Amino acid sequence: MSLRRGVLPSVLALFCMLLAVPAVAQEPPPAHSDPYQEALQSLSEGRKNDALKQFQRAIDEEPMHAGAMLEIALIQCSMGNISEAERLFLEIELRFSPPPGIIELITTERRTGCHGRPALSSSSFIFGRGFDQNVNQGATNPYYSNVQGELMLLTDFLPKSDQYSLLGADYMREITPNGSIGFAQFQSRRNDTLRQYDSTSLYLGVESPYRLGRWTARSTAMLGLTTLGGSLYQRQAQLQARIVPPLPLPDSLQFTLMGGITHIQHVTLANFDANTFELRGQLSYRKDDLYGNASLAYVQDRAVSDRPGGDRRGMALNLLARRLLWASCIGEMAYVYQKWDSELPYAPGMINEVRHQATHVMRGTLIYPLGKNQALQLEARFVRNNKDISLFQYNNRQLQLSYQWQSP
């Protein structure tokens, strides 16, 4: 999630060039960093405090840098610093005799009174109806083997299907002038008959952007709660960092390195609490009406106490492609492969096998816009969990139709 500031009118760029702002068209790029360009990058990422420092560096290197001075004045005005913004506006008018377009821009800012612009925010809402072929993740094989021989599962452990309603909402708001945002995510699923599997989740978090030279990074801290059947089931806390190194890639490609730690506490289950460590590399492609990404992660899941199967390690592969199909319709395909290998027998004396889990998830989505901020979404999902102890093997199919609304 990132916040971006709108681009100033093209007349500003022309004004900067006329007043000898460092040119980029006919000369090779300098070997040293350009504080003005770094400031623009910081501004585009919502880091106003960092941008102010970098624009000031540009003025220190080039005192007649009108573009940097104007940007500082606009930022100060947007932050409600009226006296400082007015001082800079007057200095620009006296020193540079700006063209009519810039005069109009300054006049507009003065007219607003520099009371500080409201914090940027966005929200979304989703309501859906769906069918789930295996709500309880019932075992595919009605028989399982243990040290006592082959036994038949009770019906509670076999697949049960049901229809459900889904309600979800997301909210995000800028909380600092340097681009930090707070967010909340809520989702509730209510089954028509299998109410003991109803679930609700709530996540609250903060995300902050950083820049170290040409390296960009974002850190996230998040807390979450999940209920099952109306009772608190799980607590979760997560710390994550995303880093974009300055690799010599085409403009359409971006490589991101992600690392994180997640603590999961099960309220109703004993000995299942764990800490999960993940290191992931992701390559994204974006061009015209096509977007795709592929990521590969190494994951360690360390039990806090004497969990069945002990610690486990694995890997996760994620593939996603999204493109415009016809008119305004968007199609999306995704594939997830998750592999886990435990280190110990699952339940010695009863289930002596070491658990090896491989889960495949295929998802196809069709998005049909109803307007600028509304859309219908049809989603089909297929899950296959195999390479495992037969008691935990399951397949599932889901179909969901939902209405989505996003704030302007």
In-domain check, residue 1: no
* Number of neighbouring beta carbons within 10 Å of residue 136: 19
Look at residues 112, 140, 173 and tell me which one is the last residue of a structural domain.
112
pLDDT at 33: 67
Question: What is the CATH number for 321?
Answer: 2.40.160.40
Same domain, 337 and 189: yes
Domain range spanning residue 353? 121-406
Same domain, 108 and 254: no
Residue type, 84: E
pLDDT(1) > 60? no
Same domain, 89 and 183: no
Burial readout 196-232 (b: 16 or more C-beta within 10 A, e: otherwise): ebbbbbebebebbbbbeeeebbbbbebebebbbeeee
The pTM of the whole model exceeds 0.75: yes
Q: What is the pLDDT of residues 4-52, one digit of tens each?
A: 333 333 334 433 433 433 333 333 344 456 888 888 888 877 788 888 8
- Token duo for residue 171: 């909210």
In-domain check, residue 360: yes
DSSP for 163-221 reads: EEEEEEEEEEEE-STTS-EEEEEEEEEEESS-GGG-EEEEEEEEEEEEEETTEEEEEEE
- Tell me which of 18 and 243 has the higher pLDDT: 243
Same domain, 250 and 379: yes
Look at residues 57, 92, 112 and tell me which one is the last residue of a structural domain.
112
d(CA 183, CA 220): 10
pLDDT at 241: 96
The predicted model gives 354-379 an average pLDDT of 94
pLDDT category of residue 210 using cuts at 50, 70 and 90: confident
Q: What is the pLDDT of residues 214-242, one digit of tens each?
A: 788 999 999 999 999 999 999 999 999 99
Question: What is the CATH number for 14?
Answer: 1.25.40
pLDDT at 205: 97
pLDDT at 389: 85
Same domain, 179 and 277: yes
pLDDT at 173: 93
d(CA 59, CA 65): 6
In-domain check, residue 3: no
Closest CA to 206 of 182, 178, 187: 182
Same domain, 355 and 215: yes
Same domain, 129 and 242: yes
Q: What is the pLDDT of residues 101-156, one digit of tens each?
A: 888 888 888 887 776 667 788 999 999 999 999 999 999 988 877 667 777 888 88
Contact 144, 391 (CB under 8 A): yes
Q: What is the pLDDT of residues 58-99, one digit of tens each?
A: 888 888 888 888 888 888 888 778 888 888 888 888 888 888
pLDDT at 116: 63
Number of DSSP helices (H) and strands (E) in the chain, helices first: 6, 16
Q: What is the pLDDT of residues 250-298, one digit of tens each?
A: 989 999 999 999 999 999 888 899 999 999 999 999 988 899 999 999 9
- Total structural domains in the chain? 2
- Tell me which of 225 and 328 has the higher pLDDT: 225
